Chain A
Amino acid sequence: MLAYLIRRLIAAAVMLVVIIVVVFGIFFLIPKWAGIDPAANFVGKQADPAAIEAVRQKLGLAEPIHSQVWEFFKGIFAGRTYVGGGDVTNCAAPCFGYSFRTEQEIWPVLMDRFPVTLALALGAALLWLLLGVSAGVLSALKRGSVWDRGAMVIALGGVSLPIYFTGMVSAAIFIYGLGWIDGQFVPLEESFSGWMGGLILPWITLAFLYAAMYARITRATMLEVLGEDYIRTARAKGLAEKTVISKHAMRSTMTPVLTMLGMDIGALIGGAILTETTFNLPGLGQAVLQAIRTQDLPVILGVVLITSIAVIIANLVVDILYSVIDPRVRLA
């Protein structure tokens, strides 16, 4: 198990280095090839070439690209010192640089927004697992029944309806129509009920989408598993149906569900852009959207890296869980 873990960790580290290089290339090289000068976006209306060059120097865009990548990479592990305009600024490790727009250090900004996105992703995941897996299992067990058909129609709706639509409808009903909740985000440290009130609709909206997908995949897998020989054997042995389902069928059914869960949580932690935009949640998704609008490349880079790390960690956890559910995986 230890060797397996070490192997996976090394692969994850290599993957991160590759991601840093690729992301850097996308955000810094492509504009260069397209003849776009990012520095021109950070000067005033009548900026002369000298002012643009000064900004280019300040943002570090005048350096050769390999040197920019190296400095960025070094900054994450060893911190960085910025010199410009007669000013020296130290950025402690992990240094993801400074925002082009707000001049804030990127790392603290990301860490400030991370808990909001994490709470959104984990809360919604809990809900969609509970609803999606239960609905899928019940549908499979009562195949062809009104329950099965009803659940699958709702699931189809959940998969088909875009999140901004369900988000707007739920806000129109529960916030502006019935006025049951205020719907504005409040930090947890300020008020637990306010925090819950700000997250309950995003959780439900997000869970509605994902639960639908999970219900469909759980149902399909469960139906397949229920037809397997070992289930027939278990039943033939005289095991109670409850035991057959919970101890034998569920274990196999959960394998693809777990794979999806790892990927989904990882991606959501990187920024549930639509949900955070619809409900004005100050998470990573909102930060990256604002950064894209204002061409704040270091923030975009930071969020992309956080997403990548989240996906890698989530997959690592899933792989480890796999090996618990199915010990044959360790040999792979």
Chain B
Amino acid sequence: MTTHTTGRRKRALAAAAVVAALLSTAACGGGSDSTDKAGNTAKAAGFDAANNKVAQAELVAKGGELKFAGAQDADSWDTTRGYYGFMWNFARYYSRTLVTNTPAPGAEGAGITPDLATAAAEISDDGKTYKYTLRDGVTWEDGKPITSKDVKYGIERIWAQDVLSGGPVYLKDVLDPKGEYKGPYKDKHPEKLGLKAIETPDDKTIIFKLPEANSDFEEMLAMVSASPVRADKDTKAQYQLKPFSSGPYKFESYEPGKKLVLVRNDKWSQESDPVRKAYPDKISVTFFSDANDMDQRLINGDYHLDINQTGMSPQGRQTALQEHKGNLDNPVSGYIRYAVFPQSVKPFDNEHCRKAVIYGADHESLQTARGGPIAGGDIGTNMLPPSVPGSEGQKYDPYELAGANKKGNAEKAKEELEACGKPDGFKTRIAVRNNKPVEVATAESLQASLKKVGIEAEIDQYDGSQTSSIIGSPENVKKKGYGIIIMGWGPDFPSVQGYGLPLWHSDYILESGNNNYALIEDKEIDGLFEDYVKELDDAKKAEISTQINHKVMEGGYYLPFVFEKFINWRSPELANVYTSDGYSGQYDFVNLGLKK
């Protein structure tokens, strides 16, 4: 009996040991290198090998299936309606624009290069007229030529906000600031081409006539919302389920939230396209509901990269950093994570009370809460992202957040509290999205450090999916007493206009969907933006951007946490990989390929 029991125990212990061993090694399925069924091993390019430089370009081959995974589907695959950064990046597979981001790594990727157009615009009339000529041989997926009218119609769709909501509306605001045009679906013009600001004298020529000059106009035309759409293929609200392709790939199937498959568009020709290399034969995107599960699949080698490009989950990141570091890149995302102080909530109407929070915060602890210097980013010292021209990065640090005051400066905070008439501190509320654990951790860190200087901050976790109507409503913010809002923002295009206009210009204080949370109404800042859009010289534009950033920081409206960085997975089977500032540090999808 005793022997029998001991035997059972031994078996149980052995089983437990096997399970433990399996659990500890389960995460190592993929390895830094990967071996295919024929025994060929793909070598990892190394840590940060594709960050701002091209990795393993020489190993790229045509063919194969490029497999994306994603924890979130696009807001819309309709070029007019998509606003997610990865959607703009991915849309270049099936959609072309007159101009687009340069297919190059790092800062060069934020430049503009001709795509459908033969060359950059001929700009005249003091920056109010832009003229383009379309290339020969550019076609739709049915082989018909892409015309200037298709480009005009595609842009006109932005006006149909009652049907096609959600996308960026820069072109609408710039081309028709008075809102006179009602969109193609209410257009009486026989070809639905009634927008007066765009002329199409022939099928190859398109002329934009801006009521007022805007020096970022080409940046706006490089957004996918300026893609051509053919009127006879426009299925309106349903267009997002199967956009009609003008790029090297076309939709084969799409089941929202499940899977998207693109196959080659055999009517596209490499000669007509200086931007896209179109290496893979097929591109698929599989959506997951759990980011940890997705990361595990990436590490296991089932997929090549994350389409969302917002960094790995903490669990996946830890495993990847320990065991597969050579498959990771650590780019700057272009986002700044920060706290903002609405002036409608007392005592944040007083500049000194705002500065007391800035000095009182422990910036190193906030950085740690964001994930530390690698997964979170460098300590943010001002409000202009490093990828935006005019940014000085950490060199501009007016409150010494990354220097002497890195751990907070209680003395300076007390001085500011005295100056604002609250020497004993005050009470306030921090609003933070409940669906962003990192933001909640940041709020807790801020709460702890402010307590040391006498500022009692209560944390209110609100429904993150209702951000636009909860913190986007100044009335609600005031009613709830949100003195501090935890948020983040990235540029729509790399310029102070593409980043800061909705945050800092007084015209952008809205009743709902507001992003100027601080309620900044500063005539000098407004004036600098007006100067910026009229200025055509790049160096001078950068100078104005710097000035705007300085004005915002001097007002003490924001407490920047980090210049955000991500840890992104790069399969060892990928070739010709590079990050691009044009897509906020994401890999430039359109030129990715698989190894030979």
Contact = CB atoms under 8 A, between A and B. Distances in A.
A54 B466 contact: no
B120 interface: no
A47 interface: yes
Interface residues of A, number: 58
B508 interface: yes
A169 B169 CA distance: 47
B524 interface: no
A144 to B, nearest CB: 17
Interface stretch (A16-24, A80-88, A128-136, A228-236): A80-88
A103 B237 contact: yes
Interface in B293-332: 293-294, 296, 300, 302
A176 B241 contact: no
Interface residues of B, number: 65
Contacts of A237: none
A173 interface: yes
Contacts of B300: 175-176
Nearest to A98: B237
B75 A101 contact: yes
A277 B290 contact: yes
A184 interface: yes
A44 B170 CA distance: 11
A177 interface: yes
Contacts of B492: 45
Contact of B165 (A43, A112, A280): A43
A160 interface: no
B476 A35 contact: yes
A102 B293 contact: no
B469 A173 contact: no
Given A51-B165, A177-B26, A280-B293, A41 B512 contact: no
Interface string B495-519: 0000001100000101111010000
Given A41-B465, A45-B83, A52-B513, A172 B289 contact: no
B253 to A, nearest CB: 12
B289 A104 contact: no
25 contacts: A37-B512, A41-B468, A41-B469, A43-B161, A47-B513, A49-B512, A50-B179, A51-B165, A52-B513, A84-B162, A85-B162, A85-B236, A102-B256, A102-B257, A103-B237, A104-B241, A109-B256, A173-B23, A175-B300, A176-B29, A276-B289, A278-B290, A278-B293, A287-B257, A290-B289
A47 B172 CA distance: 11
Interface in A166-181: 168-169, 171-173, 175-179
Given A84-B163, A289-B289, 10 more contacts: A36-B470, A41-B465, A45-B513, A48-B510, A51-B169, A57-B162, A87-B236, A101-B76, A277-B289, A290-B73
Interface string B267-309: 0000000000000000000001110111010001010000000
B390 to A, nearest CB: 21
Q: Tell me if A's interface is mostly helix, strand, loop or mixed.
A: helix
Q: Which 5 pairs between the two chains have the least Cβ-Cβ distance?
A: A85-B163, A54-B162, A172-B26, A177-B22, A40-B468
A292 interface: yes
B165 A44 contact: yes
Contact of B256 (A47, A104, A277): A104
Given A36-B466, A104-B241, A286 B289 contact: yes
Nearest to A112: B255
A51 B167 CA distance: 11
Contact of A47 (B26, B169, B257): B169
Contacts of B162: 54-55, 57-58, 84-85
A123 interface: no
Given A51-B165, A179-B29, A45 B502 contact: yes
B124 interface: no
Contacts of A276: 289
Interface of B: 19, 22-23, 25-27, 29, 72-73, 75-76, 83, 160-163, 165-170, 173, 179, 183, 185-186, 236-238, 240-241, 255-258, 288-290, 292-294, 296, 300, 302, 435, 463, 465-470, 472-473, 476, 492, 501-502, 508, 510-513, 515
Nearest to B166: A44
Nearest to B27: A176
A307 B327 CA distance: 43
Given A46-B515, A85-B185, A177-B22, A184 B302 contact: yes
Given A37-B469, A293-B465, A295-B465, A44 B289 contact: no
A37 B293 CA distance: 33
A49 B289 contact: no
Contact of A290 (B76, B161, B257, B512): B257
Interface string A154-165: 000000000000
A44 B257 contact: no
A194 B559 CA distance: 52
B238 A103 contact: yes
Contact of B465 (A48, A168, A294): A294
Nearest to B21: A177
Contacts of A115: none
Nearest to A51: B161
A173 B19 contact: yes
Interface string A92-115: 000000010111100001001000
A52 B183 CA distance: 16
Contacts of B512: 37, 40, 49, 52
A45 B300 CA distance: 37
A195 interface: no
B313 to A, nearest CB: 13
The residue in B19, B76, B162, B501 that gathers the most chain A C-beta atoms within 10 A of its C-beta is B162
Nearest to B237: A103
A286 B470 contact: no
A46 B515 CA distance: 8
A14 B169 CA distance: 47
A70 B195 CA distance: 39
Contacts of A175: 300
A84 B292 CA distance: 40
B168 A44 contact: yes
A262 B289 CA distance: 28
A94 to B, nearest CB: 20
Nearest to B299: A176
Contacts of B473: 35, 37, 40
Contacts of A171: 293, 296
A146 B299 CA distance: 42
A51 B513 CA distance: 11
A282 interface: yes
A28 interface: no
Given A40-B469, A277-B290, A54 B25 contact: no
A94 B293 CA distance: 35
A239 to B, nearest CB: 35
The residue in A101, A102, A282, A293 that gathers the most chain B C-beta atoms within 10 A of its C-beta is A102
